[in-house]
């Protein structure tokens, strides 16, 4: 079997590469290293074909799809504020690139296509747990661009019979998550603060809950999707539980301070995963306690990460309040 992983040097992608190699696959990684790190693939560098390229335009990278069985399209730009500040870059990376990856896959007649979508498309949901048929209400360009990519995948599956599945990930965490760049996901922020012996910056009262899903469970959902005969389907991928930010602080240990609650953020994220359980037989297996323990054992990965405080967060999120506080 031969697989392509776009964004394979990134957080989720590098874990997927490990899994595919363990399954005996020949693996090609396409990455522009805008957020991915070569360090994430150092341990398998001699086992993969690694190509640095820009997926948002036609180029020689498209030739790599010839003879490929599975394509996992994980490459994208994430984060809320940068997408507000640079919508063009996000649409190039998350929409244009998805178009070209789909076209390369269609022309090569690949066997399975799996797209990493985002639960951010739900915005602030009306119902919990949130099912796949819930209203789509993206609040910022990142969420919109990921949804538009998902619509492209649906269209290629419907019109061209591309055997494709989209997975809406909920609050992915784990080892190798991004350590650089803008203010982002709570675990990366907290782990850098823990290493620096600084207080955790908890948004609001900390009672808001998230469906934290460990990266190994995400990888198993990706593989289960490729192994299935389902097509033109969208599935939520979550932990089947929801955990408060205050509970995360308890598990990590340490002091906390509170910063202002942000507009456009839900008080809860919680995936209804009954559909993926039924169709693919997939279940999450890593509890939040086990996942946090795994991260703490590898906490030195975040030693060079930005250490955020109240003032730097206020500066970094000023556009968040400017555009979403309506």
> Which residues are identified as catalytic?
142
Measured CA to CA, the distance from residue 284 to residue 58 in angstroms comes to: 37
Report whether the peptide linkage leading into residue 129 is cis, meaning its omega lies within 30 degrees of zero.
Answer: yes
- Residues forming beta bridges with residue 213, ordered by sequence position: 172
Encode 292-313: b = buried (16+ Cβ within 10 Å), e = exposed: bebbeeeeebbeebbebeeeeb
CB atoms within 10 A of CB 92: 17
Dist. CA 178–CA 78, nearest whole Å: 10
Number of Cβ atoms within 10 Å of the Cβ of 77: 22
How far lies 301's CA from each of 1, 172, 317, in Å?
32, 17, 25
DSSP string, 10-75: SHHHHHHHHHHHHTT-EEEEEE--SS--GGGGGGGGGGEEEEE--TTS--GGGGGGTT-SEEEE--
Neighbours of 101 (CB within 10 A): 28
The rounded distance, in Å, linking the Cα atoms of 136 and 124 is 9
- Supply 243's token pair: 């955990």
List Cβ neighbours of 223 (8 Å cut-off, separation of 6 or more): 16, 19, 20, 23
Residue 285 burial (10 A CB sphere; 0-12, 13-18, 19+): exposed
């Amino acid at each position: 079997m031969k697989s392509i992983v776009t964004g394979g040097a990134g957080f989720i992608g590098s874990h997927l590469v490990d899994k595919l190699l363990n399954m005996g696959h020949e693996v090609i990684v396409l990455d522009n290293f805008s957020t991915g790190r070569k360090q994430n693939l150092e341990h398998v560098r001699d086992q993969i074909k690694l190509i640095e390229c820009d997926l948002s335009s036609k180029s020689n990278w498209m030739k790599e799809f010839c003879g490929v069985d599975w394509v996992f399209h994980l490459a994208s730009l994430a984060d809320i504020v940068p997408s507000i500040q640079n919508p063009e870059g996000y649409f190039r990376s998350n929409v244009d690139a998805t178009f070209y990856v789909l076209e390369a896959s269609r022309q090569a007649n690949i066997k399975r296509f799996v797209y990493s979508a985002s639960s951010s498309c739900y915005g602030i949901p009306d119902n919990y747990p949130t099912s796949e048929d819930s209203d789509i209400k993206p609040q910022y360009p990142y969420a919109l661009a990921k949804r538009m990519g998902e619509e492209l995948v649906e269209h290629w599956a419907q019109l061209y019979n591309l055997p494709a599945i989209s997975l809406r990930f909920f609050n992915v965490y784990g080892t190798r998550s991004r350590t650089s760049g803008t203010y982002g996901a709570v675990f990366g922020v907290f782990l850098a603060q823990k290493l620096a012996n600084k207080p955790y910056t908890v948004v609001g009262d900390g009672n808001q809950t998230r469906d934290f899903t460990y990266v190994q469970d995400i990888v198993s959902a990706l593989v289960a999707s490729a192994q299935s005969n389902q097509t033109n389907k969208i599935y939520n991928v979550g932990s089947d539980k929801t955990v408060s930010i205050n509970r995360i602080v308890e598990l990590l240990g340490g002091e906390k301070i509170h910063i202002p609650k942000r507009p456009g953020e839900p008080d809860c994220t919680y995936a209804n995963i009954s559909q993926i359980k039924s169709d693919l037989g997939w279940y999450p297996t890593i509890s939040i306690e086990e996942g946090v323990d795994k991260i703490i054992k590898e906490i030195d990965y975040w030693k060079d990460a930005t250490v955020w405080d109240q003032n730097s967060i206020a500066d970094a999120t000023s556009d968040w309040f400017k555009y979403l506080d309506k």
